[in-house]
A and B are shown apart, each in its own frame.
Chain A
């Protein structure tokens, strides 16, 4: 059994699933990070975050402090500047940000206030997916409390710094999680992604400098500011810094969500925390970080779950919430389900994505229905090449290709069987 050292993000979460409100939050050391940050210069906060090596927890893993350093600062900088918490969490298999928002909403607010201060933002939005109604209620309550206690609003805690923070409820669509599509959604437009460059740090929401950051990323900030970069770096055995929320779903004995050091081994997660496979099922593979990551299989079970090691194993850490494929479940069916999702959610902007995913989904369905032919497999194999990173406008379609390309690699025989037997062997 691995030793769990510290759980800064989740240690306050209550057993009864009720939210930690302001008083309780403060008693547990809440808003000390913000107080400390306000005593520093904004660029010192950015430097601190840079030194902590905190990387984005929304999927892409970009270094957070570095991202902030591109924001124009000082007197000539355009205003208002914006900070946006990306609470869209729609990646299938992902259920981590919801836990943080429902259980400890002030932690997010404090993290946002720190980030906003570091980039001298004037306005912050929490971009929350519409289905998260409980999160919405709890965040609304926490926001009111934070305003009341002068953690938000004009002249925060007498520091001279002011920040308005609003909750924006999204009307749905996975693509809204993509940070530039999110900006269009916030502007009340169709949520097509935007071209990069220019990056949002320079021209973002309403054309103004904007930082978009995942909920979990932001929740780390109060702790980094309170306890320092060294402490944060020391949390993870592989040196990438910090803890990570890991989740496991699928036919395991104890599906759930845990905060563990970044770099905890995959096997420990699956076998110890998730309790191993359910009786009568065998492990075949796992999407390590949500629907848009490549399958890992048996041979990868000893991979430490951090950005670099998962990448070396041929996948991505993604959101750190994994979906397990077992031997009673058809891999082709599972991939069909995933590609159906992606095909439905394609924003329709770029050709490879809207045409390629539509076709991919139809072929996978044909396989499941037993009507696919050998040539269809060739077409299927071509799609990941077609929708490779750089070929599409944004990272959505390449993400969609990750489970497909790895399934073709690891479960190729299953695809063949569907064609040869003209049926799904699992049905």
Chain B
């Protein structure tokens, strides 16, 4: 800490930070552009000028850019100083010279940092009367709209895109007052985190192209705190609605989870909610029926089973389990997935190494990835992992007294140095470009490498038999690097569906821990938004359910079983079960096969709890009441129960079901802590103060303003009226502060800028490491030997396409790859295959024909299919398969 003086008053601030950071953390309004809490300082815009004085006697002072000056002990500054204020006004005037007068028609209007800062500095009159410079805009793909005339050259976009997110297809071109920020030519932005440009750009150059299709003024959005459901990381989001449809998703800051950013799947995948195919009304044998008719016809007797879902909320899964009884509740995941996930969960609970938050990932300084394509499976983890690579080299900068926030100075000193990162995976991943070393191998060999590393770290860990000299050397060098780290991290997960890989990852982490690396962390990526939540309910898997005989009724919760098991097995199952009830939001092959279909709400339309891959329970709250009969699945299940005369499942509110769940399931005891209950938090408006049109929205139907719907589930109201501000962190519907209408208002909600939200970051950890170290695993798989004529077919993950729901968003669909099978060119030669040839693939009893692509990075004997995409989305991969040259007409089943 340091004592600084602002307007001659003393304040305690973080001495390791700069003055802008200090001023904002103290709550002062000091305008800025080029600085961003996650990007640091580069001193380009010169907007944050303050007057700095040498000492108490100095009354002249000197202008200083607050973002470039350290908040060192005794610093004396003035923000109000007339020279500083005048200079800041002049800077804004300069930025506005070429800026179009298009606020009334600009997408950014009302949420524009440039607008806010212009007002803050008091610049209101344009004296510039020469022509403005103009640019041609580019087509940047389905997500981002480009309007370069609005640019103020703050450099944030390229700094974020290139230096932070690692993209290289966006750049600054030319110089002086005509710098152009864009691509070398029109085309889809290649980086998976391009959507953050929308929030990083302080004005309307990069805007949300999906929002543009159904545009709404930002102040007309009804918003709520939500959690992204498109992977297991559980990034916090703010979702916005207008006229009953979802309009957009923006980042909701959570220091420990997603920080300031989202991935493009999470930001743009939301459009599935607006899909015209949405299920809106109950259906019985394909025909729409009334809610009561449906409920009357569904009977749940003693021979009913429930199949849960890793993408449904804890509440809905719990409700189904209560309805059918714990022993007849099955997790709707494949057997292999169930085993791998359970192994991961048990490691996090019984081992001494805690699971890593994404903040931990960013703070790591030596990382081993075992068996994961982090970018495509857990995108935001890859973004934060990328930042961690700077930690080790940045120590050199510290030696020369270059503070970490002095962004370009650090980058110039560090140059291309990266901290240790080792990636072992079945195929080359995008992060490989920044890895110290990579290894391409089949899952068993990945596990063996992991076990060998553990053994090299701690001789107490079992040795790996018949290890090649190369692997031994590699293991030794990785072990050495990880031991040299202060905060080593091991990342693994269920992508290889291999318990051995998961255990090997744990073994490495435990070995480090035993060698005194107390800050070791382990991160398991998980397949879906609530995979861990479902696993905490400890149930048998779908494979067991499919084997059951004598079932009357199967209730399937938000789950397309054809994605969980080979098609023929699912069909057989449906044939033998007379009554199938499916709850879901979109039609699937499963809903098509059901007797009853009940329309379930999506995350934006419902409230509930998800447990992310860190083991953190997080609450999401509905932004709006969906149209039709759509409601939370747990409410449908309750309705079925109540219609059947059950009294033990009659929960009326979210808080009631949460309380019941916490009481019933010891593993879920802490779930109520994830967010305050309805009665604990007063009344919080979902609508901003300037929300407009309330009285006229339904004027074509009635001139009376209807009573807004009541929300019995949370403290949030469908209204502009708020009880008190600020809302508790987990219930913040949007960030806003007087004078701060853009997402930059986040500053006002943090304990210090870039730090935790006031009152603590949302969510509560359900999984804690044990105090006692677990025993090492002793079972080590044998080396992978491809069987003649057989390939180990592994899943290749695609950020756009592999996830089920987001694929229904048009933008994501556009970027989803076409079906393929990838194999090593040498293997292809053996088969007499060329790139583009049709290959008949047979695995798990499913046969399909897909075109071949050749990838030299694949190990011999390993082939890859795009994960989650037809025609093999039901096969649990990896799995052994046969390949053969086929006739060129592809028989690819269409997407449902």
Interface residues in B146-195 by Cβ distance below 8 A to A read 152-153, 155, 172, 174-179
Interface string of B127-141 (1 = CB under 8 A from A): 110100000000000
CB distance from A380 to the nearest CB of B (A): 12
Q: B68, A195: Cβ atoms under 8 Å?
A: yes
Given contacts A194-B412, A391-B87, contact A350 B175 (CB under 8 A): no
Q: Residue A347 at the B interface, CB < 8 A?
A: yes
Instruction: Give CA–CA (A357, B94) in the complex, Å.
Output: 10
Interface residues in A318-375 by Cβ distance below 8 A to B read 343-352, 354-359, 362, 366, 375
Q: Residue B408 at the A interface, CB < 8 A?
A: yes
Instruction: Give CA–CA (A197, B409) in the complex, Å.
Output: 8
Q: A190, B97: Cβ atoms under 8 Å?
A: no
Given contacts A347-B175, A351-B153, contact A195 B62 (CB under 8 A): no
Closest A residue to B62 by beta carbon equals A390
Q: A348, B153: Cβ atoms under 8 Å?
A: yes
Q: A393, B43: Cβ atoms under 8 Å?
A: yes
Inter-chain contacts of A355 with B (CB < 8 A) = 93-95, 97-98, 177
Inter-chain contacts of B176 with A (CB < 8 A) = 343-348, 354, 357-358
Q: Residue A382 at the B interface, CB < 8 A?
A: yes
Q: B87, A386: Cβ atoms under 8 Å?
A: yes
Q: A391, B49: Cβ atoms under 8 Å?
A: yes
Closest B residue to A379 by beta carbon equals B127
Closest B residue to A78 by beta carbon equals B396
Closest B residue to A173 by beta carbon equals B175
Q: B97, A359: Cβ atoms under 8 Å?
A: yes
Q: Residue A203 at the B interface, CB < 8 A?
A: yes
Inter-chain contacts of A344 with B (CB < 8 A) = 176
CB distance from B692 to the nearest CB of A (A): 34
Closest A residue to B178 by beta carbon equals A348
| Chain B, interface residues (CB within 8 Å), range | 35 or more
Inter-chain contacts of A183 with B (CB < 8 A) = 412
Q: A393, B409: Cβ atoms under 8 Å?
A: no
Q: Residue A160 at the B interface, CB < 8 A?
A: no
Inter-chain contacts of B413 with A (CB < 8 A) = 198, 203, 207
CB distance from A125 to the nearest CB of B (A): 17
Q: Residue A392 at the B interface, CB < 8 A?
A: yes
Instruction: Give CA–CA (A173, B176) in the complex, Å.
Output: 11
Inter-chain contacts of B43 with A (CB < 8 A) = 195, 350, 393
CB distance from B763 to the nearest CB of A (A): 38
Q: Residue B45 at the A interface, CB < 8 A?
A: yes
Q: Residue B91 at the A interface, CB < 8 A?
A: yes
Q: A195, B400: Cβ atoms under 8 Å?
A: no
Instruction: Give CA–CA (A357, B43) in the complex, Å.
Output: 18
Closest B residue to A373 by beta carbon equals B129
Interface residues in A61-97 by Cβ distance below 8 A to B read none
Q: A346, B412: Cβ atoms under 8 Å?
A: no
CB distance from B171 to the nearest CB of A (A): 9
Q: Residue A202 at the B interface, CB < 8 A?
A: yes
CB distance from B518 to the nearest CB of A (A): 30
CB distance from A233 to the nearest CB of B (A): 34
Instruction: Give CA–CA (A220, B176) in the complex, Å.
Output: 35
Q: A350, B127: Cβ atoms under 8 Å?
A: no
Q: B409, A198: Cβ atoms under 8 Å?
A: yes
How many residues on A have C-beta within 8 angstroms of the other chain's C-beta atoms? 38
Instruction: List the count of A-B residue pairs having beta carbons below 8 Å apart.
Output: 110
CB distance from A151 to the nearest CB of B (A): 30
Instruction: Give CA–CA (A203, B42) in the complex, Å.
Output: 16
Q: Residue A426 at the B interface, CB < 8 A?
A: no
Q: Residue A166 at the B interface, CB < 8 A?
A: no
Q: A375, B127: Cβ atoms under 8 Å?
A: yes
Q: Residue B745 at the A interface, CB < 8 A?
A: no
Instruction: Give CA–CA (A344, B174) in the complex, Å.
Output: 11
Q: Residue A231 at the B interface, CB < 8 A?
A: no
Q: A350, B44: Cβ atoms under 8 Å?
A: yes
Inter-chain contacts of A207 with B (CB < 8 A) = 412-415
Inter-chain contacts of A349 with B (CB < 8 A) = 44, 155
Instruction: Give CA–CA (A206, B47) in the complex, Å.
Output: 29
Interface residues in A390-420 by Cβ distance below 8 A to B read 390-393
Interface string of B412-452 (1 = CB under 8 A from A): 11110000000000000000000000000000000000000
Inter-chain contacts of B90 with A (CB < 8 A) = 352, 382, 386
Interface string of B620-654 (1 = CB under 8 A from A): 00000000000000000000000000000000000
Interface string of B75-98 (1 = CB under 8 A from A): 000000000000100110111011
Q: A358, B97: Cβ atoms under 8 Å?
A: yes
Q: A346, B177: Cβ atoms under 8 Å?
A: yes
Instruction: Give CA–CA (A375, B90) in the complex, Å.
Output: 15
Q: B94, A352: Cβ atoms under 8 Å?
A: yes
CB distance from A80 to the nearest CB of B (A): 13
Interface residues in B80-126 by Cβ distance below 8 A to A read 87, 90-91, 93-95, 97-98
CB distance from A180 to the nearest CB of B (A): 9
Q: Residue B24 at the A interface, CB < 8 A?
A: no
Q: A393, B127: Cβ atoms under 8 Å?
A: no
Instruction: Give CA–CA (A382, B91) in the complex, Å.
Output: 12
Inter-chain contacts of A379 with B (CB < 8 A) = 127
Instruction: Give CA–CA (A352, B179) in the complex, Å.
Output: 15
Inter-chain contacts of A390 with B (CB < 8 A) = 62-64
Q: A203, B44: Cβ atoms under 8 Å?
A: no
Of B46, B87, B415, the residue contacting A206 (CB under 8 A) is B415
Instruction: Give CA–CA (A159, B49) in the complex, Å.
Output: 52
CB distance from B517 to the nearest CB of A (A): 28
Interface residues in A87-135 by Cβ distance below 8 A to B read none
Q: Residue B577 at the A interface, CB < 8 A?
A: no
Inter-chain contacts of B94 with A (CB < 8 A) = 351-352, 354-356, 359, 386
Q: Which of B44, B127, B406, B412 has the most CB of A within 10 A?
A: B412
Closest B residue to A383 by beta carbon equals B90
Pull 6 A–B residue pairs with CB atoms less than 8 Å apart, ordered by A.
Answer: A194-B412, A195-B42, A349-B44, A351-B94, A352-B90, A354-B94
Please provide the 6 A-B residue pairs with the shortest distance between their CB atoms, ordered closest to farther.
A355-B94, A203-B413, A348-B175, A358-B177, A207-B413, A346-B176
What 6 new A-B contacts, CB under 8 Å, besides A197-B402, A354-B153?
Answer: A195-B43, A197-B401, A350-B45, A351-B47, A351-B91, A351-B95
